Structure 1
Amino acid sequence: MTRDPARIELRPEASQTISAESAKNLPTEAGGILLGYHESATIVVTHALTVSSALASTNRYVRDDVKANAILKEFLKDRAKDDLVGYVGEWHSHPASVGPSLIDINALRAIAKTSQGPVAMIVRATSDTAPFHGVIARRQRFGRIGSSQVQVISPEHRFQPLGPLPETSVRGDGPVFISYRQSDGTHQAARLEHLLRATGLVVWRDYRDLRAGTTTDRLEQALTQGLSAAVLVVTPDIVHSEIVRERELPRLLQLDNNPAFSLSIANAVSRPGSSSACDYDAPDRLLRLSPARILADKKQSNMLDGTGELEIARDLLMHRVEQRKPTLRATNRAFTIRIQSRPTPYAIDADDEDLHIRLSAGDQGRLPSHEGLRLFQKTLPLISDAVYAARASHVGILGGAHLSIALALGTALPETKFGRVEATDTANVAWSSGASPDDPVDNIISIEDINLSTRQAEDTRERVAVFVTLTPAADRTAFDRLLNSSDQAFSKAVIVTSTTSRIDAREAGRLSSSIAQQIKELAASNGRAEVHLAFHGPYPMAVLIGRLLNTLRTVVYEWEDHAEEGPRYHPTLILDPGRAGGPIAEVLLGPDHSKND
């Protein structure tokens, strides 16, 4: 004698489909058909297929029978003939915490009249405690239809319950965690990662920073061992991400209860009928927090209109500065910025600096990355504002980067707005913008005029070329090639040199001021000409000279020893410190460097 089914067992794939589709379609109902097999007193549901309905509303789901039959036929066509999996019932959702209605039960009984065996119904309710409700109906003797509500056995949770956060889980100088769904959020997460690194923030991201070991264990360590902030990237497919929903988000919400932590929400889900307006209810809906407005009541940045990424970078940057202010005031120390444009960054390589700017490395050769320069163009005004907001006694620059980037960083820290700046070289020697009381005065600046062709002298009075060389026996070949190969003519060209073979760091303040003054006078005497600057010298001097060129429009060049043609200078950036959008007016070095040859 066959026992009537007394329960429904929901397998993980079916459970995930029903839950995800229910969440995606809120506040309207969703539904479809169940597939599985009968096993003793249990209906085992292995798959759930979604059947969209044009008649779905907030309190109604009407299955499209034609569509359902087509979907079922497509599912079954490639399965083995002896496969036990077949149609076992229906499912739909309720956008409230209620189980099957009388209408639902009557509809299931009607289906049972024409079925050979028992049929199941699962209702997915919006509830944390009892999300699944089950009903089984079957035809009995004399054509009677019986139905009963039964237990739905859900899959076991993948993760153990969360424990309390350790006291060290939030750290003001810790990295920024990026949470996202890989299937459709990887591109957005990568863009945010590179932008935040270019802003000076250290970023933790799974593909780069998750060390060997059990993924969930390593992830738990990352979430509890000293983050400063996080970005939750919300994309349509995040509805399918169990690890974000069950592990990352709960921890991030715990961390966000600490005022020293900052949680940003990057919303990339469009509102129906719009390609640029985001759906601010989507994060709660897709992460199954609805009807609660846990994320809807937090600030969300619209990632669809082009401003959301920069908004997040600005917010997290200012948050970091606010966390650093007490230490800055208590110790009267410098606001420190470490910058690099060559090595690959990792979350664990952060030092004690206030900002840690890392720009993407170039694909090949000595030239900087085009993408890194474009990001630096966006973030440099934010960095300048953040340093100013810190109200530090002075600014310290460490690390090392391409000289064009050093010049640009200097223009973002002009002498008119900031006090003393110190740039530390690779030997840990500080080069200060201020006059040194023990300046040995071993060097003075000399100017050498370069004879230009008649064609060049007559073509224009608006461009001057300057080669600043502060290292012994500098090769002039690249600069001569720049003068002779330029599409536009120069009205004046000079070489600025120091008089001895080596500059003492104590001379930095005087020499940088002298060099900048010579360049300003040259531009002024040629009708406020655009300056084309090729710099060859210590990295700290590029920073100090750049901050004094605050009244000039300057095209800065980067040197490269070309494999076939020898050394040459590439136009890299146009610096215009007076513009509202930041000191980098244009990035000239394209993805294909040959375009600017």
Structure 2
Amino acid sequence: MTRPATRIDLRQEAYEVIASATAQHLPQETGGILLGYREDSNVVVTHALVVDGQGASTHRYVRDDVTANALLAAFLAQRAGDDPTGYVGEWHSHPAPSGPSPTDVAAMQATAREYDGPLALLVYAPGGADPFFGLITRRRRWGRVTSKKATVLPPPPRFEELGPLPDGAVRRDGPVFISYRQSDGSPQAESIENLLRAAGLVVWRDRTDLRPGTTTDRLEQALTQGLSAAVLVVTPETVHSDIVRERELPRLLQLDEDPAFSLCIANKTARAGSGAQCDYDAPDRLLRLAPSRTLADKKQSNMLQPSGEREIVRDLLMHRVEQRKSAIRSEDRAFTIRVQTRPVPFAMDAGEDDLHIRIRGASDGRLPSREGLQLLQTTLPLTSDAVYAAGAQTVRVFGGAHLSVALALGAALPETKIGNVEVVDARGALWTSAETGDDPLTSDLHTQLADLEHARTPDGHDRVAIFVSLTPNPDRTAFEQLLHESSDGFAAAATISVAGEDRLDPREAARLSAAAAQQIKGLAARSGRAEVHLAFHGPYTMALLVGRHLNTLRTVVYEWDGATAGGPSYTPALVLEPGVTDGPITKVRLGQ
């Protein structure tokens, strides 16, 4: 009669401790002690403790006995008096697939001489088909110690095995998926999410887009029903995320096999001894892919450097443009951008637009948020480059935004770089920067200089204040308050307005936007190329078209605020300098 093989039953909690500790320490060995109970000649391992090794290396681990005894005592002190859980053996890792060495066996036999009953030795060597090697050692009669190979029974998989990707899992119009560990990856994920949205990309994020239901089922739907790209955020705590490791990562690697999909790795794990250099081997190690170099051989962005986030945004913008460029050129269609300010954007907002710029609004009041403008400051140069790379002859903008945002977006689409810009208003009317030949010529601009108490600025730097009002019967109260209350004063001030009481005709947009910009430039030139302080009142469509002509000026853009205690006023929002590096927004002044 054949005896059944001796076995070591490894329970889930112990398995996770061993696997995660091994991942964190690779390529060095690590180890510790096993706790559980015995069933005849078999051992059930319910818990595992990690014990630092003395001089651990890639081929050596010797546990610290003092630390091990202290950890064991602390563990047992928390158990009930009738709990059978106790010390049942040792474990350690090997960086390459191999079983217990003769040294390991000898050490285990020495330990077994002091105990009654079987003791287990587990060696965990990730990378092989069967990563666990087991050994049962026990003291027998007359002090003889025997060691016998044991079958290791790991815990059953926590998730069902993934099947092949369904058709339509990759879609060029789909959102960007962000995968991260919530405990320490949430700030980085949120930062990347906000930048991607400000750049014009639609993002799937669990905190806003995960619908009610079983988490794994909803994640599976999101990962298989039309993504265009993904960002895998790798932080030190990623090692403990079974959702990222077992559900999200395998699907992302499958998706990445499609050239229409782009996987970016945001690495925020520092190299040992460095606070600025990331560990490019960490993603494979923490996600238990090591010793393979599945992720190490892919491009990784260093999140410990400010340039890391910009790199991801640029890469994903260019990927999106590359996927859409052929259709744009073959169909000779406009490159479309939708702009909106909304408190909570959703992935379901993804549509046919080439880019969908979302700026988070302020929590209260009508002004844009300082954070939103700062995001736009970072992303607008990247968005501008992406639009130019598409090679479209026309850019068409939908939606609506604060006037400071419209002026900034216009400055990012300058006449020197983009041939024609069209803006569609809420009624569906088209306002274009190109002359169409049907201009009714019913409106004209008039410039009126203002009388100032001080003709020069106290600090000697020339500044001109200009109020552009493209609506009938403009209210100059807030602008006059700006002139009166400015501590630095202005060298000159003027109002540019339209005559008459009729609303602007969209067909006049090209002529009037160019004329308004020309008058602004002329006023600045007469004061020695002065810094322009611009208070704009009118349709956002015209603000965007005027903004694209201000490429030679330094312009401080103001937002109208009707919520101040002293009545409506103009508040400086941002500084535009389209002709400099990292422009067009060079400074956010709102909230200073």
TM-score if structure 1 supplies the norm length? 0.96
Given that residues 457 and 463 in structure 2 are in contact (C-alpha distance below 8 angstroms), is that contact kept between their aligned partners in structure 1?
no
Q: Mapping of 1:497-576 within 5 angstroms?
A: 497-501=497-501, 502-576=503-577
Give the drift of 1:41: 4.6
Q: Residue type matched to 2:324 in 1?
A: R
Q: Mapping of 1:192-211 within 5 angstroms?
A: 192-211=192-211
Given that residues 120 and 136 in structure 2 are in contact (C-alpha distance below 8 angstroms), is that contact kept between their aligned partners in structure 1?
yes
Counterpart residue number, 2:133: 133
Question: Within 1, Cα distance between the matches of 2:96 and 2:194?
Answer: 41
Q: 1:407 to 1:119 in 2, by over 3 A?
A: same
Q: Mapping of 1:133-532 within 5 angstroms?
A: 133-454=133-454, 460=460, 462-501=462-501, 502-532=503-533
What secondary structure does 1:562 align onto? coil
Question: Within 2, Cα distance between the matches of 1:46 and 1:343?
Answer: 47
Given that residues 454 and 489 in structure 2 are in contact (C-alpha distance below 8 angstroms), is that contact kept between their aligned partners in structure 1?
no
Counterpart residue number, 1:578: 579
Give the drift of 1:192: 0.5
What secondary structure does 2:568 align onto? strand
Give the drift of 1:352: 1.1
What secondary structure does 2:511 align onto? helix
Q: Residue type matched to 2:340 in 1?
A: Q
Give the drift of 1:351: 2.0
Question: Within 1, Cα distance between the matches of 2:455 and 2:504?
Answer: 37
Question: Within 1, Cα distance between the matches of 2:156 and 2:272?
Answer: 35
Cα displacement string for residues 18-49 of structure 1 (whole angstroms, at most 9, x for unaligned residues): 00111111111100001112234532211111
Q: 1:193 to 1:459 in 2, by over 3 A?
A: closer
Q: 1:454 to 1:187 in 2, by over 3 A?
A: closer
Question: Within 1, Cα distance between the matches of 2:40 and 2:566?
Answer: 81
1:112 corresponds to 2:112: yes
What secondary structure does 1:254 align onto? helix
Q: Residue type matched to 1:518 in 2?
A: Q
Question: Within 1, Cα distance between the matches of 2:291 and 2:312?
Answer: 26
Give the drift of 1:56: 1.1
What secondary structure does 1:447 align onto? strand
Given that residues 532 and 554 in structure 1 are in contact (C-alpha distance below 8 angstroms), is that contact kept between their aligned partners in structure 2?
yes
Cα displacement string for residues 470-510 of structure 1 (whole angstroms, at most 9, x for unaligned residues): 12333222111111111111111111111122101001011
Question: Within 1, Cα distance between the matches of 2:237 and 2:413?
Answer: 42
Question: Within 2, Cα distance between the matches of 1:154 and 1:208?
Answer: 36
Cα displacement string for residues 61-95 of structure 1 (whole angstroms, at most 9, x for unaligned residues): 10110111111122222222222221111100011
Cα displacement string for residues 245-296 of structure 1 (whole angstroms, at most 9, x for unaligned residues): 1111111111111111111111111111100011111111111111211111
Q: Residue type matched to 2:232 in 1?
A: L
Q: Residue type matched to 2:555 in 1?
A: T
Q: Residue type matched to 1:303 in 2?
A: M
Give the drift of 1:341: 2.4
Deviates more, 1:96-105 or 1:417-426: 96-105
Give the drift of 1:243: 1.2
Cα displacement string for residues 190-243 of structure 1 (whole angstroms, at most 9, x for unaligned residues): 111001111111111111111111111111111111111111111111111111
RMSD between aligned alpha carbons?
Answer: 1.5
Given that residues 558 and 569 in structure 1 are in contact (C-alpha distance below 8 angstroms), is that contact kept between their aligned partners in structure 2?
yes
Question: Within 2, Cα distance between the matches of 1:209 and 1:471?
Answer: 40
Where do 5+ consecutive residues of structure 1 fail to align?
Answer: none
Q: 1:431 to 1:84 in 2, by over 3 A?
A: same
Give the drift of 1:146: 1.8
Given that residues 36 and 46 in structure 1 are in contact (C-alpha distance below 8 angstroms), is that contact kept between their aligned partners in structure 2?
yes
Q: Residue type matched to 2:288 in 1?
A: R
Where do 5+ consecutive residues of structure 2 fail to align?
Answer: none
Q: Residue type matched to 2:369 in 1?
A: S
What secondary structure does 2:353 align onto? coil
**Structure 1 residue ranges (4+ consecutive) displaced by more than 4 angstroms after TM superposition:** 455-461
The total of aligned residue pairs comes to: 589
Cα displacement string for residues 549-584 of structure 1 (whole angstroms, at most 9, x for unaligned residues): 111110000111125222111101110111111211
Given that residues 450 and 495 in structure 2 are in contact (C-alpha distance below 8 angstroms), is that contact kept between their aligned partners in structure 1?
yes
Deviates more, 1:127-136 or 1:432-441: 127-136
Question: Within 2, Cα distance between the matches of 1:329 and 1:27?
Answer: 50
Question: Within 2, Cα distance between the matches of 1:13 and 1:458?
Answer: 71
Give the drift of 1:116: 2.7
Given that residues 36 and 44 in structure 2 are in contact (C-alpha distance below 8 angstroms), is that contact kept between their aligned partners in structure 1?
yes
Question: Within 2, Cα distance between the matches of 1:128 and 1:504?
Answer: 72
Given that residues 456 and 462 in structure 2 are in contact (C-alpha distance below 8 angstroms), is that contact kept between their aligned partners in structure 1?
no
Q: Residue type matched to 1:253 in 2?
A: L
Given that residues 5 and 43 in structure 1 are in contact (C-alpha distance below 8 angstroms), is that contact kept between their aligned partners in structure 2?
no
What secondary structure does 1:311 align onto? helix
Identity %, equivalent residues: 61
Given that residues 127 and 289 in structure 2 are in contact (C-alpha distance below 8 angstroms), is that contact kept between their aligned partners in structure 1?
no
Q: 1:201 to 1:364 in 2, by over 3 A?
A: same
Question: Within 1, Cα distance between the matches of 2:258 and 2:517?
Answer: 47
Given that residues 464 and 531 in structure 1 are in contact (C-alpha distance below 8 angstroms), is that contact kept between their aligned partners in structure 2?
yes
Question: Within 1, Cα distance between the matches of 2:24 and 2:458?
Answer: 68
What secondary structure does 1:168 align onto? coil
Counterpart residue number, 2:10: 10
Deviates more, 1:470-479 or 1:419-428: 470-479
Deviates more, 1:388-397 or 1:96-105: 96-105
Question: Within 1, Cα distance between the matches of 2:4 and 2:384?
Answer: 73
Give the drift of 1:309: 0.6
Q: Residue type matched to 1:99 in 2?
A: G
Given that residues 446 and 496 in structure 2 are in contact (C-alpha distance below 8 angstroms), is that contact kept between their aligned partners in structure 1?
yes
Deviates more, 1:435-444 or 1:472-481: 472-481
Given that residues 442 and 500 in structure 1 are in contact (C-alpha distance below 8 angstroms), is that contact kept between their aligned partners in structure 2?
no
What secondary structure does 2:318 align onto? helix
Question: Within 2, Cα distance between the matches of 1:370 and 1:257?
Answer: 40
Give the drift of 1:455: 6.6
Give the drift of 1:5: 9.4
Question: Within 2, Cα distance between the matches of 1:315 and 1:498?
Answer: 44
What secondary structure does 2:112 align onto? helix
Give the drift of 1:514: 0.9
